[in-house]
């Protein structure tokens, strides 16, 4: 027997299932809405793709001008427009030659905007930083006015430690040159004049190509007098490119393609290819005709980085140590003594014949703490020794002191004795801060500062603890 079930609208039954599965109890409310008329629902569905296409076309018409606008913007503006940490849309490169103060909000934008950015990471409490500041102020307008501008900036790395940590700043001041965004630490002289010369050299090409006599003259003038320079007359650039990069911090390098006989007379060479070394600070010049292969070329370049006789002081002693050769060091009472020029002339002649050694001189009056490490107290001067630039030096038996008079023969006997091994080795004295090294001094000062700080905070803790105990009692 068949049982007839009560009829129920299909749409209503479907509405109840969906509502209960999605909305729980609220599904009961769906019964109150009758199903949409089939024709209207179908029409709505058929119009939906057309509406979507219209919206897409409108969006494209809106975005196209924006894309064209960004394409026309300079790269620097586009890159910095979306910077992190509230970066400005654009870093304005200063034109007045002042030192720019940077922080975490504008540092990255500055690095992107400036081709050559020289940054001083400093701390306000640092004494060295305070002494450096006037040197940077003096150098800033000169560097900003170059044909290839260098902008000097500073960052309080004690305050913005995250920024300092990003670039490995672990002491103050730390100086860095950002060359098209690539950082490298600067450790050379901080005096304004030498700082300018060093930075000019660092941003110059490894090897400049000179096309005429006038360009040769311009190159020499721009190089200044503080560093030696090399001009390869008729020398292919590829032959010295390696050394131009290797010794870039120490000298200027160039090749001259076209030049007149006037240049040959001026630089004293009679054939080419010829590599001319000029040391304008010491008025010295030498010529290398080859061979331009093996170690010959580099030996000439390396030996020409120093003058034939080096006045030894706090700046040049680093060059002597970097050179690697032993130093024939003559110690005088005073470099300004009337007999000093005659002796230096003899040393220069000896240096010309002994390129495996460096010849230097120093006056006790000019640098007493350094000369004392070679046991000059009680010695008769001038005194001549051979120093390994580290911990030892040698004296030649019977030729330690130079008598006034025939310096030439005495220096020759000294060198003969040294070559034949008639020497006595001695240790460099330990009393001089110059040979203990600045690093050791800094470490000692740092340890003392830590000890003082610990004592101070210990006392502060005791003072804070006393009233607390009194209050508890």
Average pLDDT, the chain: 81
Q: Are residues 313 and 410 in the same domain?
A: yes
In 3D, which of 421, 381, 374, 375 has the Cα closest to residue 397? 421
Q: State the pLDDT at residue 379.
A: 77
Q: Are residues 231 and 323 in the same domain?
A: no
| Whether the predicted pLDDT of 209 surpasses 60 | yes
For 260, phi then psi, to 5°, come to -100, 175
Q: How confident is the model at residue 429 (pLDDT cuts 50, 70, 90)?
A: confident
Q: Give tens-digit pLDDT for 279-326.
A: 999 999 999 999 998 899 999 999 999 999 999 998 899 889 999 999
Residue pair 203/149 in contact by the 8 Å Cβ criterion: no
Whether residue 45 lies inside any domain: the answer is no
| Residue span of the structural domain in which 390 resides | 309-434
Query: Angle 214-216-218 (CA atoms, 0-180°, nearest 5)?
Result: 70
Q: State the pLDDT at residue 64.
A: 56
| Whether the predicted pLDDT of 38 surpasses 80 | no
Residue pair 92/74 in contact by the 8 Å Cβ criterion: no
Q: Are residues 393 and 444 in the same domain?
A: no
Length of the chain: 473
Catalytic residue from among 78, 81, 93, 126: 126
Residue pair 303/355 in contact by the 8 Å Cβ criterion: yes
Q: Are residues 324 and 430 in the same domain?
A: yes
Dihedral (Cα; 111, 112, 116, 118), 10-degree rounding = -10
Share of the chain above pLDDT 70, in %: 72
Whether residue 126 lies in the annotated active site: yes
CB atoms under 10 Å from CB of 462, counted, come to 9
Q: Are residues 167 and 241 in the same domain?
A: no
Q: State the pLDDT at residue 424.
A: 94
Pairing outcome for strands 252-256 and 229-233: parallel
Q: Are residues 319 and 429 in the same domain?
A: yes
What is the distance between the terminal CA atoms of the chain, rounded to a whole angstrom?
99
Q: Are residues 321 and 430 in the same domain?
A: yes
User: Domain of 152: which CATH number?
Assistant: 3.40.30.10
Which position has the higher pLDDT, 27 or 151?
151
User: In this predicted structure, which of 17-31, 144-158, 396-410 has the lowest mean pLDDT?
Assistant: 17-31
Whether residue 10 lies inside any domain: the answer is no
Last residue of a domain, one of 304, 325, 340: 304
| Whether the predicted pLDDT of 333 surpasses 70 | yes
Catalytic residue from among 114, 123, 129, 362: 129
Tokens 């044909």 — which residue? 147
Ramachandran assignment for 437, one of left (phi > 0), alpha (psi -120 to 50 degrees), beta (any other)? left
Q: Whole-model pTM? A: 0.67
Query: Which residues contact residue 36 at a Cβ distance below 8 angstroms, ignoring those fewer than 6 apart?
Result: none
Whether residue 270 lies inside any domain: the answer is yes
Q: How confident is the model at residue 56 (pLDDT cuts 50, 70, 90)?
A: low
Residue pair 123/130 in contact by the 8 Å Cβ criterion: no
Q: Give tens-digit pLDDT for 334-376.
A: 999 999 999 999 999 999 999 999 999 999 999 999 999 998 8
Residue pair 352/308 in contact by the 8 Å Cβ criterion: yes
Helix (H) or strand (E) holding 252: strand 252-256
Q: How confident is the model at residue 31 (pLDDT cuts 50, 70, 90)?
A: very low
Residue pair 108/166 in contact by the 8 Å Cβ criterion: no
Tokens 């040049």 — which residue? 316
Tally the domains of the chain.
Answer: 4
Q: State the pLDDT at residue 341.
A: 93
User: In this predicted structure, which of 27-36, 39-48, 236-245, 331-340 has the lowest mean pLDDT?
Assistant: 27-36
Q: State the pLDDT at residue 93.
A: 78
User: In this predicted structure, which of 70-79, 247-256, 421-430 has the lowest mean pLDDT?
Assistant: 70-79
Whether residue 59 lies inside any domain: the answer is no
Pairing outcome for strands 383-387 and 392-396: antiparallel
Q: Are residues 234 and 220 in the same domain?
A: yes
């Amino acid at each position: 027997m068949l049982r007839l079930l009560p009829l129920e609208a299909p749409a209503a039954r479907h509405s109840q299932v969906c509502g209960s599965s999605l909305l729980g109890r609220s599904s009961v409310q769906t019964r109150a809405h009758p199903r949409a008329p089939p024709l209207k629902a179908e029409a709505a569905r058929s119009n939906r793709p057309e509406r979507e296409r219209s919206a897409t076309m409108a969006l494209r018409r809106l975005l196209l001008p924006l894309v064209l606008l960004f394409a026309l913007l300079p790269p620097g503006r586009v890159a910095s427009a979306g910077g992190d940490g509230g970066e400005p849309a654009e870093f304005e490169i200063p034109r007045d030659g002042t030192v720019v103060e940077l922080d975490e909000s504008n540092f990255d934008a500055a690095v992107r905007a400036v081709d050559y950015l020289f940054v001083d990471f400093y701390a306000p409490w640092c004494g060295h930083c305070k002494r450096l500041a006037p040197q940077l102020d003096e150098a800033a307008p000169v560097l900003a006015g170059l044909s290839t501008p260098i902008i000097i900036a500073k960052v309080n790395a004690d305050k913005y430690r995250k920024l300092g940590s990003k670039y490995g700043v672990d002491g103050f001041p730390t100086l860095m040159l950002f060359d098209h965004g690539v950082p490298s630490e600067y450790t050379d002289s901080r005096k304004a004049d030498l700082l300018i010369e060093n930075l000019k050299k660092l941003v110059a090409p490894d090897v400049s190509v000179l096309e005429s006599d006038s360009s040769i003259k311009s190159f020499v003038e721009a190089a200044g007098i503080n560093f030696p320079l090399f001009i390869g007359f008729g020398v292919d650039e590829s032959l010295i490119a390696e050394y131009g990069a290797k010794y870039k911090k120490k000298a200027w390098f160039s090749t001259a393609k076209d030049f007149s006989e006037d240049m040959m007379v001026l630089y004293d060479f009679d054939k080419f290819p010829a590599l001319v070394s000029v040391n304008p600070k010491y008025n010295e010049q030498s010529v290398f005709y080859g061979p331009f292969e093996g170690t010959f070329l580099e030996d000439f370049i390396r030996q020409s980085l120093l003058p034939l006789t080096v006045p030894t002081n706090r700046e040049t002693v680093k060059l002597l140590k970097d050179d690697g050769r032993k130093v024939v060091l003559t110690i005088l009472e005073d470099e300004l003594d009337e007999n000093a020029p005659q002796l230096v002339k003899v040393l220069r002649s000896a240096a010309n014949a002994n390129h495996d050694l460096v010849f230097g001189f120093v006056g006790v009056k000019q640098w007493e703490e350094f000369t004392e490490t070679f046991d000059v107290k009680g010695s008769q001067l001038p005194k001549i020794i051979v120093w390994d630039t580290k911990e030892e030096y040698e004296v030649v038996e019977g030729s330690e002191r130079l008598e006034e008079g025939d310096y030439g023969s005495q220096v020759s006997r000294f060198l003969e004795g040294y070559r034949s091994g008639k020497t006595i080795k001695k240790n460099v004295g330990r009393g001089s801060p110059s040979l203990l090294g600045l690093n050791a001094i800094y470490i000692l000062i740092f340890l003392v500062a830590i000890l003082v700080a610990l004592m101070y905070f210990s006392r502060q803790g005791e003072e804070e603890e006393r009233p607390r105990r009194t209050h508890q009692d």
